Amino acid sequence: MDALDPERLAVDLAALGGRGRCWIAYSGGLDSTVLLHALTRAPLARPLGAIHIDHGLQPVARDWRRHCRERCRVLGVRFVARALALSPPPGESLEAHARAARYRAFAALLDDDELLLTAHHLDDQAETLLLALLRGSGVHGLAAMPGCALLGRGRLVRPLLGVSRAQLLDYARRHRLDWIEDPSNDALHHDRNLLRHQVLPLLRGRWPAAASTIARSAAHCAEAATLIDRQAGCDLAAVAGAVPGSLSVAGLSGLEPPARRAVARLWLRRQGFAVPGRARLERVVGELLTARVDAAPQVAWAGCEVRRYRDDLYALQPLPRPPDAALRWVSGRELVLPHGLGELQVSGAEMALEVRFGVGGRCRPRPGGPLRSLKKIFQEAGVPPWLRPLVPLLFVAGTDRLVAVAGVCGCHPEQAGAPGWLRWSGHPWGALGVFREVCEIGRAAGGEGAQ
């Protein structure tokens, strides 16, 4: 049987179940061109589509897009293109940034029950394992690329991991396919290209089946990683923190160091964050656990911050900067806060307000109760110190009369009138469970705000 048999591809995809569209990640290069052609000849139960990502990194990128669109037109395959605007942050390589942006675009495209098919093959798998070895990765890294994984609302599938690059080239020549040659694939300053063009050919010269046996080792590591994750999942459930999604410092400290690291890795992956290198991971399961209770330690890397508050660890996206100036607001309208801090909406109270951040003040959380400092109110509500500067504070416009602490409480006057209601939604910390979506706005018996 042909190493790349369309009927076998159809059987493998049918085993996944479902009937949503199969999207092919179509760059126009050899690998994805072969996958596209083979799938158009396969008896699929799903409709086909192709998505082309324009990274904007090559002067001929528009020509590549036209090439891919025309090939899809000829084959009768739905074609979608997405252009990326890349701006890697300091410390992140352009290659890694482009890859992350590409997969975000793929994830955004997928609907329920849809598949994204990539043309990663046997040689890619061998290269990935060798790169992981050179980085000193553990078994999760050495497992290389899984054949199937969740992506957005659908799944990512790599149906060609058992097919070599030589077999893809043979298929393309037999079917007289034409494809794009990306000159960056020959640049030896990229680690993967160096392995592809110099290291793997040398290994094959001595061990012809080198790519296949290296990929087999990746499969063994994937099995080991699955068993580690299964045990780590049990440990993770046992050391869950008081707040949903957090980790208990005391519980984590009670585990052996290898188990701590396994739990931390699984915890981060389940929260959608990349697992950092060994040094940062050791800080997460080391210094964060031994820090003083009144300290505010954190460990940060690209796209993630792990912070401690009391006995819990939290994994968060990097915190935004609070607005510098007060925001004027007429309460009858929805206010969209800057920097992704969510939206505010007031009902049952018409007044001119100002929204401020990171200022002090005093508040009476209950009618007839004592005034309390904002620090004390935040402590009692369990709001971590590093989130407090980002909590919207509502004042009567032009005054220092505080009427509400969004997500926490209203601030009532001594003689309270009928309260209004404040809704704070769309902020990134809803899953933490420390903020209420709706709280009261305190109003005096005769009208507006509270002292």
Q: For residue 184, what pLDDT is reported?
A: 84
Indicate the domain borders of the chain. Answer: 6-219, 246-316, 327-441
Q: Kindly state which CATH superfamily the domain 6-219 is placed in.
A: HUPs (3.40.50.620)
- Residue ranges at the known binding site: 27-32
Cβ burial, residue 17 (10 Å; 0-12/13-18/19+): exposed
Tell me if the pTM is above 0.85. Answer: no
Which residues, other chains included, contact 343 with Cβ-Cβ below 8 Å and sequence gap of 6+?
334, 335, 336, 337, 424, 425, 426
Annotate 46-60 with DSSP letters as a single string: S-EEEEEEE-S-STT
Which residues, other chains included, contact 85 with Cβ-Cβ below 8 Å and sequence gap of 6+?
56
Q: For residue 89, what pLDDT is reported?
A: 73
**Contact 417/446 with Cβ under 8 angstroms?**
yes
Which residues make beta-bridge pairs with 52?
A: 81
Distance in angstroms (rounded) separating the CA atoms of residues 421 and 346: 6
Q: For residue 434, what pLDDT is reported?
A: 87
Please list the pLDDT of the chain residue by residue as tens digits (451 residues).
466 899 999 999 999 999 999 999 999 999 999 999 999 999 998 999 999 999 887 888 899 999 999 999 999 999 999 998 877 777 777 788 888 889 999 999 999 999 999 999 999 999 999 999 999 999 999 999 999 999 999 999 999 999 999 999 999 999 999 999 988 888 898 899 999 999 999 999 999 999 999 999 999 999 999 999 999 999 999 999 988 889 999 999 999 999 999 999 999 999 989 899 899 999 999 999 998 877 788 999 988 999 999 899 999 988 988 888 899 988 778 899 999 999 999 887 677 889 999 998 899 988 888 999 999 999 999 899 999 999 999 998 989 989 999 999 999 876 555 668 899 999 988 878 889 999 888 665 444 444 4
- Residue ranges at the known binding site for ATP: 27-32
Distance in angstroms (rounded) separating the CA atoms of residues 84 and 89: 15
Q: For residue 325, what pLDDT is reported?
A: 87
Q: Cα separations (Å) of 25 from 22, 82, 146?
A: 10, 11, 16
**Contact 135/142 with Cβ under 8 angstroms?**
no
The answer to whether domain 246-316 has CATH 1.20.59.20 is yes
**SS3 category, 74:** helix
Positive or negative torsion for Cα 95, 149, 275, 256:
negative
